[in-house]
Chain A
Amino acid sequence: MEKRTVFAGYSLPALLLVPQLLITIVFFYMPAGQAMWQSFQIEDAFGTTTIFVGFENYRELFKKPEYYKAMGTTLVFSTAVAFLSLSISLLLATMANKQIRGATAYKTLLIWPYAVAPAIAGVLWLFMFQPSMGMVSKALKSAGVDWNPTLNGNHAMLLVIMAATWKQISYNFLFFLAGLQSIPHSLIEASAIDGARPMRRFWTIIFPLLSPTTFFLIVVNITYVFFDTFGIIDAMTGGGPAKATETLVYKVFADGRLGGDLGGSAAQSVILMIMVIAMTAFQFKYIERKVSY
């Protein structure tokens, strides 16, 4: 898609592009390039000398059980959050899409958590589940559950999953609702005439027609869990206990800062970049997102 008519000249468009290109190159490409370069180097303990080591950092990385553990954690975390938040929001959107009173009010009441910072969402849930005086923890204790996310890795994982899911419901709800509203009503009527009961109608007509939205949301949710949940994890568990909630992104941060292993951290960054690029490419290829260039 191109404009039929344009303005002539090179200097004005160049001038208009300079700010964005400059910032992009300085703060995106240079760091990305540097991460790549660093991933092939080892720095000594004092940061005085660096040696080029080729793929050594990557080899080291894939030898470490922690890395696989972080991968597993990320997988569990993202699958759980994507599945939970998608199911809950699909249920809510389906209900809100029925022609009921107050549908717009429900919508308003459900979408605002999008605006809550992940770290703040983490703090809210942390408070409710704080082992000694949290409201929910007390209830759990009286029910006989020895709840302690600061010691029990599974509890900690559960907690970050809940917070991350809570925050993501609004986003998925909005897209599901839009998707549902774009399904022509005549199709629903046709299937009703064809004798499909409401449940059957949902699974045979609505759900398949919604699949582009669902598919899009799955990819978006995975990206969300990968990157945006950093704040949740850092505020709630700091990756602990015993690295039980350390995701791949969190590990890049932790290894580079606390461990000072810049080469290893850079290698992880590069792997993550490749993963993001793969996911974005996937998204473009299969979700009919048309950037017509």
Chain B
Amino acid sequence: MVEKRTFLSAILPHVVLILGVIVVFFPVYVAFVASTWDAATIANGQMGLRPGPHMLENYHRTLFVGTASSTREPVGNMMLNSLIMALMIAVGKIIISIFSAFAIVYYRFPFRMAAFWIIFVTLMLPVEVRIYPTYKIVSDLNMLDTYWGLTVPLIASATGTLLFRQFFMTIPDELLEASKIDAAGPFRFFKDTVLPLSMTTIAALFVIQFIYGWNQYLWPLLITTKDSMQTIVIGIKKMIVTQDALTEWQLAMTTAVLALLPPVIVVVAMQKLFVKGLVETEK
């Protein structure tokens, strides 16, 4: 240790970090507290910082019954939609990008570089900047209000391909050579060597893409018109009637807690993979 340990230097980091943790937790804690009170208490501004007695009632009603004023759809159903969307995006992305990266790394064929660049440039085309034309194409393909419409346009992106390409480049050439001598063709090499070695990368990408998929906002907002297709992130927005006292805040906050719980659990439970995925997809 370079630094002398004074009382201040020992205590300061903890003070700063605890303050940081409080700031980070506070909004979520408030939402949790709100999810345990009744509408009247919240509307009168009497909520305070202690949890109330209505937790079970609120969660039950939110999950299985639905709010009265804005959407009749129970949030349980929305969560299912979100789950399906997140899984389809994560799994779909992994599959198509591991295949394309395998083709780009382990083959030489005409237009290989062209294919790589076609994929690469998509890094620069976030959905927000091409939103209406993409919507139009999806609608022309009759994919509005379908899981396919919700997910397929988000499945292709350079991130996964770049990540797998980067990882494949670190697999020693000799492993392919040994496999060739061991009579393994492309399928066997992929199945027996590349896939088992890629498991951590796959898991890391899965964590990141699951969060990405679960948290989608603009795209499902446009693509879903039916209540039954709504995702939870969209659902909550529709519960909040900005100018109005009609908002059932206790249910909105219950929904908020339910909406943030799954991805947060994924991050905390798979922290190592999450950090790996985050750092490597950005590199």
Contact = CB atoms under 8 A, between A and B. Distances in A.
Given A28-B125, A32-B125, A127-B31, A12 B186 contact: yes
A27 B27 contact: no
22 contacts: A1-B169, A12-B103, A16-B103, A20-B97, A21-B119, A30-B133, A31-B137, A100-B10, A117-B260, A118-B217, A119-B236, A123-B237, A125-B27, A127-B30, A127-B253, A175-B282, A227-B128, A231-B217, A235-B236, A262-B132, A280-B124, A291-B162
Interface in A16-51: 16-17, 19-21, 23-32, 34-35, 38
Nearest to B161: A20
Contacts of B156: 20, 23-24, 27-28
B64 interface: no
A81 interface: no
A157 interface: no
Contacts of A102: 14
B222 to A, nearest CB: 8
A7 B215 contact: no
Interface in A191-223: 192, 198, 216, 220
Nearest to B283: A289
Interface of B: 1-3, 9-10, 12-14, 16-17, 20-21, 23-28, 30-31, 34, 42-45, 47, 95-97, 99-100, 102-110, 112-113, 115-120, 122-126, 128-134, 136-138, 152-153, 155-156, 161-162, 169, 173, 176-177, 180, 185-186, 189, 211, 214-218, 221, 233-234, 236-237, 240, 242-243, 245, 249, 252-253, 256, 259-260, 263-264, 266-268, 271, 274-275, 278-279, 282-283
B125 A276 contact: yes
A17 B99 contact: yes
Interface of A: 1, 3-7, 9-10, 12-14, 16-17, 19-21, 23-32, 34-35, 38, 88, 91-92, 95-96, 98-100, 102, 106, 108-121, 123-128, 130, 132-135, 138, 150, 166, 169-171, 174-175, 178, 188-189, 192, 198, 216, 220, 227, 230-231, 234-235, 238, 249, 252-253, 256-257, 262, 265-266, 269, 272-273, 276-277, 280, 289, 291, 293
Nearest to B99: A16
Contacts of A277: 124
A249 to B, nearest CB: 5
A257 B153 CA distance: 20
B271 A231 contact: no
Given A100-B10, A238-B242, 13 more contacts: A6-B106, A7-B185, A14-B103, A20-B100, A32-B133, A111-B274, A112-B264, A114-B278, A115-B260, A115-B264, A231-B215, A231-B217, A234-B221
Given A31-B134, A128-B30, A150-B243, A293 B177 contact: no
A116 B13 contact: no
Nearest to B258: A120
B47 to A, nearest CB: 7
A6 B271 CA distance: 35
Main secondary structure of the interface of B (DSSP, over half): helix
A137 to B, nearest CB: 9
A108 B271 contact: yes
A197 to B, nearest CB: 10
B267 A20 contact: no
A252 B27 contact: no
Contacts, number: 300
A65 B13 CA distance: 47
B206 to A, nearest CB: 14
B268 A123 contact: no
B30 A27 contact: no
| Most central of A112, A117, A289 by chain B CB within 10 Å | A117
B152 A114 contact: no
B132 A266 contact: yes
A156 B148 CA distance: 36
Nearest to B138: A27
Contacts of A238: 242
A132 B45 contact: yes
A108 B14 CA distance: 15
Contacts of B152: 23, 27
A24 to B, nearest CB: 5
Contact of A4 (B116, B128, B138, B173): B173
